[in-house]
Structure 1
Amino acid sequence: MRPAFWPVAAGLLLAVALGAPLGHSMVATLATVLFMVGGLPHGAYDIALLRKAIAPGRRALVLVVGGYVAVALAMAALWLTLPLIALIVFLLIAAVHFGEDWRMVDEPLLRIAAGAAVIAVPAVSHPAEVTALFVAMSDPRSALLVKIIGAAAPVTLLVTGVGLAQAWRGGARTWATAMALCLIVLFVAPPVVGFALFFVFLHAPLHLDRARTVLSDMPRSRWLATGALLSGATIIGWLALRLLAPARIDETLASQAFQLLAAVAVPHLVLSHWLEQRQDLGGQIRGAV
């Protein structure tokens, strides 16, 4: 996490208490830009991490990159053809992926519930705004998803509370405190604003720091260029898709941003999960030796 999390979270809580217009469209636009610029680069190092892990040959690397892009394009195509299914897939992937942040918790179900809490809290506290976002991303039938998420929220939050207690007892007290504070912000602030706080200041830094540790031999200039170029290429690719099928993609910036995140989240989750398993296996082998 970034030290800036604390003043930003405190500032948002103060803004809510003072009645600041955080629900204004301009604020939502700025929050969307923030979580795209500050959050999207955390997946830009997937291929570099893969190369570091297995050192594939040129042909194998081309196949892997091609597969990665193909999965992202398949998810984008799903948004164009079956947007409701794409939204459901996105929510499931998000819950699993955000749950990966809870490495200090051993039980997988606790992790997934904690990841789902990021979605459940705003669905309970701001159902109208979340419904409007879901409908913009898919179709009016997605309003039922908000009701389902809201109905499951008490169980989700109860299990998340258990995860927070485990993280606290396990020594991850800074993370537990920050995550609890973030859930409070997600409850009181507009959904896009609360998500920007979580995505930019809690979720993305974990992955960026892990990637930087593994890729410590990469020069800083190359590190920054990789993040900027691949993130920019992803956004340009999405804009090109809009030109091919403009009528099938909503014009709302926030909905497009979430659709884009969903398209890259699927291959990112698959690859990051595989790399994590490989690292764990390597650690077990080294420990046995």
Structure 2
Amino acid sequence: MTAVNRRASQGRGGVVHVSFWFAAVYLGVAQAAGLSLAGPGATLIATIVFIGGGMPHGAYDIALLARAGRLGRHALGLAVGGYVGIAIAMAVLWVVCPLVALVLFVTIASVHFGEDWTMLDEPLLKVAAGTAIIAAPAIGHPAEVARLFVAMVGGPGGETVARSLIAVAPVALLVTIVGIGDAWRSGAREWAAATAVAIIGLIIVPPVAGFALFFVFLHSPRHLADARITLGAVSQRWWLATGAALSVAAIGGWVVFATSLARFLPTDLTAQAFQLLATVAVPHLAFSQWIERRLARDAFQPHAI
């Protein structure tokens, strides 16, 4: 059985880890009880959660690249160099033109989150559904999102981006509702229910907490499951060591970069965390799409059974 077919066996909706429901219930109870989820301490905890829990799902890109590309040592070295080079270029963009970096981040995130919507066949509808993840917090917490974006770009351009998200939110959310309905009808009912809960959470609870719920407990497990299936029978030790080592390397690289250029970057740690996420998201999306095409091509080769 090919990697593509193995991944298809997960269903057109996707996997929902049980931890998502525990996290969603916790946030719901905390919100109903009036606990502060937007204070400095709670925001810092949510930031640590979405960085520490979300980074590993892109940590297997190089291993997936080597497996899907069947590259020699030299070609693989060039590919890894390209991956790192794209990340460095994105990091530099946060220094020289942060507004462009923010717009690119929002665009990349919309495309990447739209990839979760395997039940939608139209690419533009996928992007619209992915955009809803970014736009939902801007509807429920426009001031907080604007402040975060302003901190990320160091100027009022961030507020303009936040207002733009509010403008496109109705269409994006409508498409998401359609996608949820399609997922439910196609049998992916747990995925549909979880996505609805995540969208509601992004609107109701503070933006960083809502994003952590979606990114760490719904989005990342899906891609980790795909990677684990594609990589085949790797040991648990290799799996954990690879995810931890590359995640630490990415975070450590950003710390060195941010420390060296501290005067050009925000002092807000959450804003920097989103900048780091954007920095690794660009090469992650570029190479994950290439890997998907290679796996899809191999699925139709005569040797694939």
How many percent identity over aligned positions? 52
Question: Does structure 1 residue 11 correspond to structure 2 residue 26?
Answer: yes
Structure 2 counterparts to residues 161-180 of structure 1, below 5 A = 161-180=177-196
Question: Does structure 1 residue 118 correspond to structure 2 residue 130?
Answer: no
Q: Could you tell me how far apart the structure 2 residues matched to 1:285 and 1:215 are?
A: 18
RMSD between aligned residues:
1.5
Q: CA offset at residue 113 of structure 1?
A: 1.1
Q: CA offset at residue 152 of structure 1?
A: 1.3
Determine if contact 2:61/2:284 at 8 Å carries over to the other structure. yes
Residue 155 of structure 1 corresponds to 171
Q: CA offset at residue 20 of structure 1?
A: 1.0
Which moves more between the two structures, 32-41 or 272-281? 272-281
Question: Does structure 1 residue 98 correspond to structure 2 residue 113?
Answer: yes
Residue 244 of structure 2 corresponds to 228
Per-residue Cα deviation, 1:131-160 (whole angstroms, up to 9, x for no partner): 010011002221011111101111111111
Q: Could you tell me how far apart the structure 2 residues matched to 1:204 and 1:42 are?
A: 6
Q: TM-score, normalised by structure 1?
A: 0.97
Q: Secondary structure of 1:156's match?
A: helix
Q: Could you tell me how far apart the structure 1 residues matched to 2:183 and 2:223 are?
A: 18
Residue 102 of structure 2 corresponds to 87
Per-residue Cα deviation, 1:58-85 (whole angstroms, up to 9, x for no partner): 1111111100000000000000000000
Per-residue Cα deviation, 1:184-229 (whole angstroms, up to 9, x for no partner): 1111100000000001111110111111111222221111111111
Which moves more between the two structures, 138-147 or 60-69? 138-147
Residue 31 of structure 1 corresponds to 46
Per-residue Cα deviation, 1:43-70 (whole angstroms, up to 9, x for no partner): 0100101111122111111111100000
**Unmatched segments (≥5 aa) in structure 1:** none
Aligned residues: 289
Residue 21 of structure 1 corresponds to 36
Q: CA offset at residue 285 of structure 1?
A: 4.1
Q: Could you tell me how far apart the structure 2 residues matched to 1:288 and 1:209 are?
A: 21
Which moves more between the two structures, 74-83 or 214-223? 214-223
Residue of structure 2 aligned with 1:280, choices 275, 290, 296: 296
**Unmatched segments (≥5 aa) in structure 2:** 1-15
Q: Could you tell me how far apart the structure 2 residues matched to 1:255 and 1:261 are?
A: 10
Q: CA offset at residue 120 of structure 1?
A: 0.7
Q: Could you tell me how far apart the structure 2 residues matched to 1:6 and 1:202 are?
A: 9
* Stretches of 4+ aligned residues off by more than 6 angstroms: none
Determine if contact 2:17/2:217 at 8 Å carries over to the other structure. yes
